[in-house]
Amino acid sequence: MARRDFSWVSPGRWPTLLVAIAVLIAMFLLSGIILVISMRLLGGLEAHHDAWRAAWPWLLAWRLSLYAALVLVWWRKVRPRAVARLCQDHDDGRQALAKLRRLELMALGILALIEVTNLINQRGGA
């Protein structure tokens, strides 16, 4: 019996754009399912919004602790390995380290924008 090639099973060989699209679709579907379940359990969209507003401080605390954990893991575990690997470049990683720094700043900016948007929505929207 011939050996089958199951290389497509390895996530490292999947096209990046396909993975990104699949994750976005799954995220939207999961959000919709959560919204439908919440509306059914609470009795409607207004009740869902009221519950969301009541839970907002706890959700903010959860998000901030999640951000803090991600930053801690990035800063203590992942970043030193990435910097060590980048420093093996032909220019000692100067160009790559500058790109990494810009990427870190962009990620922080996106998180700040998300939280500002959440704050605006919690205060009544624009």
Q: What is the pLDDT of residue 92?
A: 83
Q: Are 92 and 86 in contact (CB under 8 A)?
A: no
**How does residue 49 score in pLDDT terms, banded at 50, 70 and 90?**
confident
Q: Are 83 and 99 in contact (CB under 8 A)?
A: no
Global pTM?
A: 0.69
- Give dist(CA 53, CA 3) in Å, integer: 57
End-to-end CA distance of the chain: 65
